[in-house]
Amino acid sequence: MATTMAATFPLASNESSVKMDALVEEITQSVQALKDSRQQSKSEPADASAPLNASPELQQLRQRLVEASWHLHQHALGPGEYILSLSVGVHYCACLKWLCRFKVFNGVPLEGNIAYDKLAAAISAPEGALKSVARMAMTSGLFTEPIPNHIAHSPTSAMIASNPNLLLWSEFMTEVGIPTASAFADATQRWPGSLSNTETAYNLAFDTPLPLFEHLKTLPTRTEQFAGYMKSVTNSEGTSLKHLVSGYDWAALPQDSVVVDVGGSTGHGSIAIAETFPDLRFIVQDLETNADAGRESLAKAENEAQKDLADRITFQAHDFFQDQPIVGADVYLLRMIIHDWSDDDSVRILSRIVKAMEPNKTKSTLVIMDSVLPLPGQLPATLERLLRLRDLTMRQVFNSRERAPEEWSALMARVDPSLKLVRTAKPFGSVLSVMEWKLEDPVAQMTMPLNVEEQVAKEEKVTPVAVS
């Protein structure tokens, strides 16, 4: 058996063997450290390995384990087999699409199991296709077959079945995200260098002349899927709202300071901050439909805490391409906004805000929470690929992009040369950075071009602001 395995999975070189030994040692140490940490901290939840439930120490240990395991997997396969294995991911996505389309997640009981023939009849799908798809999905951790010809949930598939937003995420990702990504090469070939949001991979994939958001308005089912998709993204570790709360020193703002949440949708970001910092007031700006939805949601407050939020958070219909109606606010917040737009459109958006900051430039601060791309290899690969994925998604859907530090610097210089980067932070586990910008008098202005290496190193060392 050992001889067969060696022939099937040949190691490329002695150097590869040394790397694998080091990775095995790293994995062993990380697993032991995780065990020790859980034993020492009885306050940790049972599922302490999950990012959203873990302490920062456990998150770091877990990240080391994930990174080392991923590299070990690559080394064990070798270049040839690893390349061929990429096709498996394509079929996992195809299986997920099939499982969503035929309502398999809800068709399988959360407790116990169901025979394939009964499930096939219930979801109106061919039994043979159901078996093939389900058994392929099982190799990725979705579903199990506890007894022959019966299917049951695994912990992963049960999570999708019991979380409506995660199910909607799965539907939107497979029905919209995958076709869009697949059309990227064709779109680039058809519209090379285009910055138009109507000449994108999305437009090509769905044969529409409309930008994404305008097109979604015509498709109620897709709109519902997108809403769930965004809620799942917001609730994931990398874009969790807890990083917005901890990534900026909100406690340093004076009592009754006004935070203008530009493009804040239905107010989820402002609500997260307001729940922790009761002395701040918020104005959430978005297009009328979102503003109305946010206002209606807060108006239904049932407990005193929620009623307090309704008193401190107001909603305002506003198009951020138009002049900013709130002049001289303490903070103008843009979270995950600028990455949707080209440089020219971003300058238009930001210029409106900077104009509103001018009358109170010593107080007004512009806080942008968005991705800041590192140089290749500056982050663990399992983290970097999430940022690269976001960058590709922006290009495929909007012909925009995520920006590197020097690109942020150049963009802000176009908006107003007197904008100065005061501080940047990247809370541990976040794929987004928090950038704090202020207007400075030209005479006193200090030139602060962002150095990529120093910036990324600084972000990784930042200790999140303590939140009581």
Would you write out the chain's pLDDT as a tens digit for each of its 468 residues?
Answer: 333 333 334 445 667 778 888 889 888 888 888 887 777 765 444 444 444 556 777 888 888 899 999 999 998 989 999 999 999 999 999 999 999 999 999 999 999 999 999 999 999 999 999 999 999 999 999 999 999 999 999 999 999 999 999 999 999 999 999 999 999 999 999 999 999 999 999 999 999 999 999 999 999 999 999 988 988 888 888 899 999 999 999 999 999 999 999 999 989 999 999 999 999 999 999 998 888 888 888 887 666 667 789 889 999 999 999 999 999 999 999 999 999 999 999 999 999 999 999 888 889 999 999 999 999 999 899 989 999 999 999 999 999 999 999 999 999 999 999 999 999 999 888 999 999 999 986 544 444 444 434 444 454 443 333 332
- How far is the C-alpha of 407 from the C-alpha of 174, rounded, in Å? 31
Distances (CA, A) of 450 to 267, 371, 409: 31, 15, 6
Which residues are paired to 439 by β-bridges? 419
- How far is the C-alpha of 69 from the C-alpha of 380, rounded, in Å? 12
Alpha helix locations (H) across 163-219?
164-172, 178-182, 184-190, 201-205, 212-217
Q: Which residue, among 401, 393, 391, 288, has the nearest Cα to 345 in the 3D structure?
A: 401
What's residue 193's pLDDT?
Answer: 93
**Catalytic residue numbers, as ranges:** 339
Long-range contact set of residues 145-153: C-beta below 8 Å, sequence gap at least 24: 146/113, 147/113, 149/115, 149/116, 149/117, 150/113, 150/114, 150/115, 150/116, 151/108, 151/113, 151/114, 151/116, 151/119, 152/108, 152/109, 152/112, 152/113, 152/114, 153/108, 153/109, 153/110
The two counts, helices (H) then strands (E), for the chain are 21, 9
- How far is the C-alpha of 222 from the C-alpha of 208, rounded, in Å? 14
What's residue 47's pLDDT?
Answer: 46
Q: Which residue, among 332, 320, 354, 312, has the nearest Cα to 261 in the 3D structure?
A: 332
Residue entry with tokens 């570790």: 237
What is the model's pTM? 0.80
Which residues are paired to 281 by β-bridges? 258
Tokens of 454: 């120093």
Three-state SS at 200? coil
What's residue 53's pLDDT?
Answer: 55
What's residue 465's pLDDT?
Answer: 31
Distance between alpha carbon 462 and the CA centroid of its chain, in Å? 20
- How far is the C-alpha of 214 from the C-alpha of 217, rounded, in Å? 5
- How far is the C-alpha of 283 from the C-alpha of 316, rounded, in Å? 7
Q: Which residue, among 455, 403, 404, 463, has the nearest Cα to 428 in the 3D structure?
A: 463
